Structure 1
Amino acid sequence: MLVETFNPFNNILISSLVAAIPIILFLLCLTIFKMKGLYAALLNLGVTFLIAMLIFDLPFGESVGSVIQGALQGMWPIGYIIVMAVWLYKISVESGKFDILRASIAGISQDQRLQLLLIGFCFNAFLEGAAGFGVPIAICAVLLVSLGFKPLQAAMLCLIANGASGAFGAIGIPVAITGTLNLEGNVTSMDVSMMTALTLPIINFSIPFLLIFLLNGLKGVKEILPAILVVASTYTVTQALITIFLGPELADIIPSLLTMGVLALFLRKWQPKNIFLLNNQEVKIEKHSVGEIIRAWSPFYLLSIFVLVWSIPAFKALFLEGGALNFTIVKLAIPGSSLFSSFNLVSATGTAILLAGITTILTTKSIGFPAGFKLLKKTVLEFWIPIMMISAILGIAKLMTHAGLTTVLGEAVATTGSIFPLVSPILGWIGVFMTGSVVNNNTLFAPIQATAANIIGTDPALLVSANTAGGVMAKLISPQSIAIATAAVGQTGKEALLTKMTLKYSFGLLAFVCVWTFLLSLMF
């Protein structure tokens, strides 16, 4: 916070209502006014800039610096990650690997409800755990479209499915980061991880049912109930055990791979009596050898391997102060302000994905570097508008943080006293809606949650986990997620429609987390 006070009106209620204007306006722009995402983001950026500078007294230089800092972060590392992930996907398509990969999944069952469970739920969760930052939504939505799903339908289903894995994205960083914040009550990341097992399993178990219901109604749920139970129970139980005994790092990766494998084996013995096909059109499946299938999946194996290496503590230590590769971190002071931006040239997750793409080209005869670089150029041209939108959103987030708008919102919610646990997840929802990141959300609001918990006498780990769970529910409609999803399926400009499609599910899941957290607070 770069202002003298986060309460310019000397009244928490009035100050928080003014601070909430960017959030409310964003929702109105995307739902009621049906504006394109980029225009909504730019309008809100202007409004937030004026509120931060004129009402919260953020100096002009710091206001401009906040926008620049957010814009740069939108391009690096977030835009970098998105472009690299989609580029890797395009390499897979151009080389012919993607057709074999798709056939390997579709070949397990022609029933597209089961394909949704395999791709939209299991593979989605795996990519969330391995890379995060929009990668699973971008890749899985495109996969579903290639199998006959409607573009916005595929995007919506992938966004909802991501609610089962978003808390532990990118090697569990959203939860792991809480252990670095020195939270009041000596809350550790393991404490938070264990506490998530009281809430997230209920959501995780229900989402596969919800996905099939949205695709094919109650009829579909009944017809493939055994498969849904296999997916829901395997994923839920495995993730709960890992979060309790091992921690957050592998809480998406192991459960998703195990669930995919168990479902594939189960479907060898069981198939639904009625095969559900979208538009009654059967997807033609070519048979391939085991070796071809293994090679076809190699871009994603490589993605996982590189991202896992990038997440190893010993590797991360190379980039710390005094580390052998610390020189690869470029720090840029933003003129006219006290702010700066860092560019992690090597340690960025996007670089890990870049290496996966380069390795794929080197090990694939059917594509070379000239074709690969043409695909990279094409990807950049396709995604510059969504990246601009994301940069504007992060500019808003930085303005709200540095001007104290997020702080006063947090303080306002914390004044609710004994019913604070009921509204605690809403803080997390707000944090992710504005930043698109559960990591940023926990960085912003976990300290407030822990402090409030100690004041009202409840377990601080419970409220920090509620902050995480509430935040995950906002990923379904955060402008950043919506921008990535619409761009991936070629529907840029239809962000308002996709937001409308997912909004009620975000609110419904948030309402459950709020009520459930309040009930848990009575026991802890």
Structure 2
Amino acid sequence: MKWTQVIDPFNAIALSVLVAAVPILFIFWALIIRKMKGYQASLIATVMAAFIALLVYGMPVKLAVLSFAHGALYGLFPICWLVIMAVFLFNLTVKSGQFEIIKHFMASITADRRLQALLIAFSFGSFLEGTAGFGAPVAITAAMLVGLGFNPLYASGICLIANTAPVAFGSIGIPITVASQVSGIPELPISQMVGRTLPILSIILPFYLVTIVAGFKKAREVLPAVLVSGVSFAVLQWFSSNYLGPALPDVIAGLGSIICMMVFLRFWKPKTVWRFANEPAPTFQTDRSYTGGQMLRAWSPFLVLTIMVIAWGMPPIKEVLNAVGQVQFEVPGLHNAILSEEGVALPKVFKFNFLSAAGTAILIANLVVIPLIGLTYREGLKIFGATLNQLKFPVLTIAAVLGFAYIANDSGITLTLAAALANTGFLFPFFAPVLGWLGVFITGSDTSANALFSKLQFATAQSIGVDPVVTVAANVSGGVVGKMISPQSIAVAAAAGDLVGKESQLFRFTVKHSFIMLGVICLITLTQAYVFQWVIPTYELLIAQKTAPVTDLSQGYVYLLALAVLLIALASTIRFVSNRRAQKPTLVN
């Protein structure tokens, strides 16, 4: 069976766009007005998209069913696999009692909720985005803030909003790598262009976050710390993206801003410690301190997590893991069965990279840390079962959302919306980020949005005389502000923040901020295209695909051996310092 996609089924682009937008408009209505549960809204939107694909676009029933199944399968693995492992890690930390020590440590840096939000949601979340990505940063940081005593809605909401700054460089720069492969523009100029857009947002974002949490007046009280956080992050993000490439900006900027904040707060404190008006009286005891060994043990889950996800992102290790533990197959009945409007067959291949997936790295981290934090594997298994029960509805939501995304993409619904924006002519640079925003809203992934629209961005920019790197980078940058309202991201944040069934509240919390930030990026892109053209880097297109060198797996095995030695050394150190001194707090007279 062969079927060709249709971009304008009514031969009237305005009418086609109106019909294509129905499922997306429904999601907005269901979550904002109807206040529907996330999994219900996602399932209904999927049914609507399927009916439009079948009745309007003429997609065969078999292909629609297979497309939904392909998307749902991708939602389960690797996305749900990663989310489950990330939440499991946090639950282990809480159940073992180690999170109480972490809370004490954070309060020892600052008990102020405004600054805790910056350290965890903004800086630590950025670091996690750079290493793991795909939902892990929001899942972990939202759970940490809730554990510290934040209102669950604020915790999940600000973590979603804070996640905008690093998304473009997430997972060791994968979104930009994909944009490069699809558009034919080298990675570095795209990284440079994004790195000359997002730092503007990164400077503003910390103050914006604190204003959301505490109001404008209270945000001004911590302006010095806010500036240290935002400026240090933005400068490091700009430098690394422009001179080191797309792989490390989040890691460097996230760690750098944490260090700068910790140093600054040793010399400066806000006049008053701000906490939520309705939260319980603080339980932090100033006469309690913990040894270095206790602190190392408490932070060991996140330390091991960091080591594992960085290692799993290294190409030599990834190549070994894929060579040993990856099953790749063409989706039966769907592979090459759909033709683009130009007649090109669309490959549909599922990669089950069960070893190199980030979720597997977190699983190994979990197995390593269970004995380190004082739990048995039997107890860990019980906690894992409770985690699965906690996440049953988010897993259903994510699978439904990805099924919806794949039907929308394969039927041509998404391309109809993109074609309308591409017809805006001179104003296209203003609307270019909207394409990225739309792609991330539908798929939940900046990587997927870049795979969808980078070629369209390139061709449209060339046709109107604008440098294509501007619009391709705009697709990346615009996508980051769509992440906070993507149903997939909402489901992940709701699960981590104990808001399952209340996704509509979280969506209403973030949606206006998404539009505000999108507007800012649209204006920046427009000025870059026509006014500040000196910010555009010079580059040469990738003329031809380079021949892939023969892979030498020996380096990957050496890296894995080094990783094993590092983990054994770390585990031994933690066990040694823990056994030297009982895990009891020392009271200071």
TM over 0.5: yes
Alignment partner of 1:8: what SS? coil
- For residues 71-82 of structure 1, what are the structure 2 equivalents within 5 Å? 71-82=72-83
Partner AA of 2:429 in structure 1: P
Per the alignment, residue 298 of structure 1 pairs with: 300
* Residue 200 (structure 1) aligned with residue 163 (structure 2): no
Determine which of 249, 262, 278 is the counterpart of 2:260: 262
Instruction: Give CA-to-partner distance per residue, 1:480-522, whole Å, 9 cap, x none.
Output: 1111111111111111111111111100000111111111110
Per the alignment, residue 169 of structure 2 pairs with: 168
- For residues 437-452 of structure 1, what are the structure 2 equivalents within 5 Å? 437-452=445-460
* Residue 344 (structure 1) aligned with residue 346 (structure 2): no
Per the alignment, residue 354 of structure 1 pairs with: 363
| Two-structure CA RMSD over aligned residues (Å) | 1.7
CA contact (8 A) 2:107 2:284 kept: no
Alignment partner of 2:6: what SS? coil
Per the alignment, residue 188 of structure 1 pairs with: 186
Per the alignment, residue 284 of structure 1 pairs with: 284
C-alpha separation in 2, matches of 1:488 and 1:250: 26
C-alpha separation in 2, matches of 1:439 and 1:167: 8
Alignment partner of 2:350: what SS? strand
C-alpha separation in 2, matches of 1:242 and 1:138: 26
C-alpha separation in 2, matches of 1:362 and 1:34: 43
CA contact (8 A) 1:58 1:403 kept: yes
C-alpha separation in 2, matches of 1:260 and 1:57: 53
C-alpha separation in 1, matches of 2:484 and 2:330: 33
Per the alignment, residue 117 of structure 1 pairs with: 118
- For residues 204-243 of structure 1, what are the structure 2 equivalents within 5 Å? 204-243=202-241
Task: Identify the range of structure 1 (334-343 vs 131-140) with the bigger mean alpha-carbon deviation.
Answer: 334-343
C-alpha separation in 1, matches of 2:484 and 2:326: 34
C-alpha separation in 1, matches of 2:276 and 2:16: 50
What's the offset of the Cα at 1:217? 1.8
Alignment partner of 2:352: what SS? strand
Partner AA of 1:282 in structure 2: P
CA contact (8 A) 1:3 1:56 kept: no
Alignment partner of 2:466: what SS? coil
C-alpha separation in 2, matches of 1:463 and 1:134: 26
Q: TM-score, normalised by structure 2?
A: 0.85
C-alpha separation in 1, matches of 2:177 and 2:98: 35
CA contact (8 A) 1:73 1:394 kept: yes
What's the offset of the Cα at 1:388? 0.7
* Residue 519 (structure 1) aligned with residue 527 (structure 2): yes
CA contact (8 A) 2:90 2:143 kept: no
C-alpha separation in 2, matches of 1:44 and 1:9: 21
Per the alignment, residue 407 of structure 1 pairs with: 415
Per the alignment, residue 455 of structure 1 pairs with: 463
C-alpha separation in 1, matches of 2:233 and 2:513: 21
Per the alignment, residue 396 of structure 1 pairs with: 404
Per the alignment, residue 584 of structure 2 pairs with: none
CA contact (8 A) 1:147 1:283 kept: no
What's the offset of the Cα at 1:334? 4.1
C-alpha separation in 2, matches of 1:37 and 1:334: 30
CA contact (8 A) 1:361 1:372 kept: yes
What's the offset of the Cα at 1:376? 1.0
C-alpha separation in 2, matches of 1:417 and 1:332: 39
Alignment partner of 2:248: what SS? coil
What's the offset of the Cα at 1:159? 1.1
Partner AA of 2:64 in structure 1: S
Structure 1: runs of 5+ lacking an equivalent? none
What's the offset of the Cα at 1:207? 0.8
Alignment partner of 1:274: what SS? coil
Number of aligned residue pairs: 516
What's the offset of the Cα at 1:332? 6.5
Instruction: Give CA-to-partner distance per residue, 1:411-469, whole Å, 9 cap, x none.
Output: 21111111101111111111011111111111101111111111111111111111111
C-alpha separation in 2, matches of 1:479 and 1:83: 17
What's the offset of the Cα at 1:242? 0.4
CA contact (8 A) 2:70 2:331 kept: no
Task: Identify the range of structure 1 (332-341 vs 249-258) with the bigger mean alpha-carbon deviation.
Answer: 332-341
C-alpha separation in 2, matches of 1:299 and 1:404: 44
Per the alignment, residue 30 of structure 1 pairs with: 31
C-alpha separation in 2, matches of 1:173 and 1:102: 33
What's the offset of the Cα at 1:394? 0.7
Instruction: Give CA-to-partner distance per residue, 1:316-347, whole Å, 9 cap, x none.
Output: 32366xxx42x532537446875553321111
Task: Identify the range of structure 1 (302-311 vs 377-386) with the bigger mean alpha-carbon deviation.
Answer: 302-311
* Residue 374 (structure 1) aligned with residue 388 (structure 2): no
Q: TM-score, normalised by structure 1?
A: 0.95
Per the alignment, residue 84 of structure 1 pairs with: 85
Instruction: Give CA-to-partner distance per residue, 1:389-425, whole Å, 9 cap, x none.
Output: 1111111111111111112221211111111011111
Per the alignment, residue 315 of structure 1 pairs with: 317
Pair 455,436 (structure 1): closer, same or farther in 2 beyond 3 Å:
same
